[in-house]
Structure 1
Amino acid sequence: MDGKANIPLGILFGIIAGALWGTVFVAPQLARDFTGLQLAAGRYLVYGAISAVLLVPRWPRLRAWLEPRHWRALVGLSLLANIVYYVALATAVQWGGVAMASLVIGFLPVVVTVVGSRAVGAVPLRRLAPSLVFSAIAIACIGGQALVGGGGFEWRRAAGFLCAVAALVSWTIYALRNARWLHQLPHVSAHDWNLLTGLVTGALSLLLVPAALYFDASTHTAAAWSRFAAISAGMAVFASILGNSFWNRMSRMLPLTLVGQMILFETLFALLYGFVWEWRVPVASEWVAMVCVGLSVVSCLHAHKK
């Protein structure tokens, strides 16, 4: 319903989704006085509310095909892509920093591409080798300083790394399952599927509210809560509503092996936003990383040429 295979347009949508998603790496730094659990609850409550409003005029048509198995799938996808992923990611950013979180999440293209290469009719893994090599170089450069710099071992930093790994696993499973569901439901638009995911995510986020308040012993001012509300609304609109919509459209236009490469743009934009936040220019290794991101996508495109 969103169009057939269209690699150039799909790549453009992937870049836009990456630019929008990259903002969620900076949001935890803007709201460091709030926990990752609170950030997830705030973001997805707004996401769910907006989705519910937008679904009202679409509901009669959607209700005609929705079955219990679809709701079960949406619950699983919502947990993987939103609740579990962002609680883990926000905690990783606050405990380990943007660079470390970007490094670990940057392995998503490699993991998704390798798994996607096993699908029927997919490009053989050997043809994807150059793209994977460039991906690995980019990831190593992006997080190199974060891993080798600083002092000795820190438990908080180690815990942040483990949270980033948990986010990586959660989103990898989501990317694969979501792409398969979108291909199984050609009659459903990517926008409607995103709104349904948002509706379920909003319902699940209600369960986070008691825990988010209970595990936070801090006292926040009215100004802090206003800032938190603005950040939550911004993430919901730009990352969840718009970012997910572009991602779902892209997932239908590109093969799964190329979908994996598009996740690199989230890492790249997260890094760029981090530079702005820290008010500095990239160092040599970071310039190399950005070049390798481009080369990775170009070589992956070449591998998909008939």
Structure 2
Amino acid sequence: MLTGVLAGLAAGALWGVVFVAPRMVEGYNSVDLTAGRFVAYGLVAALVCAATRRALPDARQALSAIGLSLLGFTGYYLLLVLAIRDAGTEVPSLVIGTIPIWVMLLGKPGHLRWAALVPGILLTAAGLALMTLAPQAGDGGVQGEHYWRGILWACASLASWTAFALLNAAWLKRHPEVSATDWANWLGLATGAGALVLWAVAGSDLRTLATLPDAPLFLGLALATGAGSAWLATILWNMASRRLSPSLCGQLIVSETLFALAYSFAWDGRWPTLAQWAAVVLFTLGILASIKAHR
């Protein structure tokens, strides 16, 4: 259980980077940012498969990987980037922060009493409410012209990843013969192929990308988020999904919100307000309460 919890928290730390990455480069549209990250993920997965001569999926496994890659990677991140573009970093990260509640409610083990989950749910909900009501400052919290459209994009990304979390956990438990690394590689191959199609249809051409002032930073972020926030984070999440129940895994996703907020505050060069600090404490207590309930 400890290995699963640590793996889930580490995945959250890596995922948190993707909430602030779109704000670090100027001039790139949502498709460029999505395709850049996931083409890099596909390249890493392909190199690992070639170097280690790992097994490739059969037709049925490949179809599962394609479907889940759309829910948990290409589709989810495209929606999230659109949300961040319209509503900044902090509020979309809070909307995504409700994933633990949805996954916990939808993935509760049959033997676990609802009463045992109430403290963790209430603490998490209180943290979300407090952070939402706290005064927002900095570029990550500005309510612009398309703010509410951004909230809708964030809700769509929430639904996409919630479905991925539940379906991915179920797939891994049905296929214990497939290692966490192999499944991450197969998802990467499917995601990379989908990202190439997305970029070819709706992305900027190479000449345009090369002329943008932040091109080196964009390339570095694509490689970092592709290798770290996608490939490595997926391996870690698969490890957690295999060792823990979906409801506990869902609660660990709170760590993604905490890291995303920390990275956003650091990028804006400011400290959280007192109310935001209190929300972080409530989030953390919610994680601990949920772990205790699953012992």
TM-score of the alignment, normalized to the shorter chain, above 0.5: yes
1:28 aligns with 2:26: no
Counterpart of 2:69 in structure 1 is 78
Residues 172/33 of structure 1: CA separation in 2 closer, same or farther (3 Å cut): same
Q: CA deviation at 1:265?
A: 0.1
Tell me, yes or no, if the aligned pair for 1:183 and 1:252 is still in contact at 8 Å.
yes
Please give the alpha-carbon distance, in whole angstroms, between the structure 1 residues aligned to 2:134 and 2:211: 36
Q: CA deviation at 1:172?
A: 0.1
SS in 2 for 1:206: helix
Q: Pick from 94, 102, 113: which aligns with 1:124?
A: 113
Q: CA deviation at 1:219?
A: 7.5
Q: Pick from 273, 280, 283: which aligns with 1:293?
A: 283
Please give the alpha-carbon distance, in whole angstroms, between the structure 2 residues aligned to 1:152 and 1:239: 26
Residues 192-211 of structure 1 aligned to structure 2 (within 5 Å) = 192-211=182-201
Counterpart of 1:9 in structure 2 is 3
Counterpart of 1:242 in structure 2 is 232
Tell me, yes or no, if the aligned pair for 1:102 and 1:143 is still in contact at 8 Å.
no
Please give the alpha-carbon distance, in whole angstroms, between the structure 2 residues aligned to 1:51 and 1:170: 23
Counterpart of 1:4 in structure 2 is none
Q: String of CA shifts for 1:104-150, please: whole Å, max 9, x gaps.
A: 00110000000012x444x2222201100001011122232368999
SS in 1 for 2:16: helix
1:50 aligns with 2:40: no
Q: String of CA shifts for 1:222-281, please: whole Å, max 9, x gaps.
A: 542222111111110110111111111111111111011010000000000011011111
Residues 233/149 of structure 1: CA separation in 2 closer, same or farther (3 Å cut): closer
Tell me, yes or no, if the aligned pair for 2:117 and 2:290 is still in contact at 8 Å.
yes
User: Please, what TM-score do these two structures have when normalized by structure 2?
Assistant: 0.92
Counterpart of 2:160 in structure 1 is 170
Residues 148/239 of structure 1: CA separation in 2 closer, same or farther (3 Å cut): closer
Counterpart of 1:159 in structure 2 is 149
Residues 189/240 of structure 1: CA separation in 2 closer, same or farther (3 Å cut): same
Q: CA deviation at 1:283?
A: 0.6
Q: CA RMSD in A?
A: 2.5
Q: Tell me, which stretches of 5 or more residues in structure 1 are unaligned?
A: 1-6
Please give the alpha-carbon distance, in whole angstroms, between the structure 2 residues aligned to 1:136 and 1:244: 26
Counterpart of 1:225 in structure 2 is 215
Please give the alpha-carbon distance, in whole angstroms, between the structure 2 residues aligned to 1:146 and 1:102: 15
Please give the alpha-carbon distance, in whole angstroms, between the structure 1 residues aligned to 2:186 and 2:152: 30
Please give the alpha-carbon distance, in whole angstroms, between the structure 1 residues aligned to 2:238 and 2:93: 22
SS in 1 for 2:146: helix
Moved >4 Å (runs of 4+): 146-155
Tell me the amino acid that sits aligned with residue 80 of structure 1: L
User: Please, what TM-score do these two structures have when normalized by structure 1?
Assistant: 0.89
Counterpart of 1:137 in structure 2 is 126
1:187 aligns with 2:177: yes
Q: CA deviation at 1:282?
A: 1.2
